[in-house]
Amino acid sequence: MKKLKNSELNRIDVSTFKSIKKTPLIIILDNIRSLNNIGSIFRTSDAFLIEKIYLCGITATPPNRKITKTAIGSTETVEWEYINDINNLIENLISQEVKIWSVEQAVKSSKLKDLKSIDADKKHALIFGNEIDGVSQEVINKSHGVIEISQYGTKHSLNISVAAGIVIWKFYNLIKSN
């Protein structure tokens, strides 16, 4: 086995990225405090051709040195928009028939590992909340469903950028399998 050089990875350029069909998946970051987490989620979103990222509440926006450091150029490829009020955003997306999923620990949540299919004819939005408080109850109440990542250790949560990577990867594969 030989490690590939960057020149052998056949990556697309920015103009090609912007012109190709995106994965019908929207990422919503609500009140995210860590600029490094925001940048990491941009980078993951680039990797899986995510359609758009919405930055809500206190979530910082590019250009920002700390976001750029971890995003490594993906703030220039992934479409994003700042919307102050997540509730207005959710109502707008629901009116466009987007299926809204909160990623949170909740009563009657769907375990990510048990999710075998999703309606691939619909666009989906994944909401990730504040690093301390998570997704608000008000937002959970407006969501079509809640996704929970099963955890087996002593900690009760994952870093948001890690959780986003896991859930985005799963949804990408569910969408592409249909």
In a domain, residue 59? The reply is yes
Q: Residue 63 has what pLDDT? A: 95
**What are residue 60's phi and psi, to 5 degrees?**
-70, 160
Counting the structural domains of the chain, the total is: 1
Q: Residue 7 has what pLDDT? A: 87
Question: Which parts of the chain have pLDDT scores under 70?
Answer: none
Residues spanned by the domain of 63: 20-176
Tens digit of each residue's pLDDT (9 = 90 or more) over 144-163: 999 999 999 999 899 999 99
| C-alpha 176 chain-centroid distance | 16
In a domain, residue 15? The reply is no
E strand residue ranges, 113-169: 124-128, 145-148
Q: Residue 121 has what pLDDT? A: 86
Q: Pick from 11, 4, 22: which is nearest to 175 by CA?
A: 22
Tens digit of each residue's pLDDT (9 = 90 or more) over 114-134: 999 999 889 999 999 999 999
Matching residue, tokens 């994952």: 158
Say which CATH number the domain at 32 has. Answer: 3.40.1280.10
Tens digit of each residue's pLDDT (9 = 90 or more) over 51-61: 999 999 999 99
In a domain, residue 109? The reply is yes
Q: In what order do the strands lie in the sheet with 99-103?
A: 80-83, 50-56, 23-30, 124-128, 99-103, 145-148, 110-111
**What are residue 148's phi and psi, to 5 degrees?**
-125, 135
In a domain, residue 4? The reply is no
Which two tokens mark 46?
């680039």
Which two tokens mark 143?
């969501």
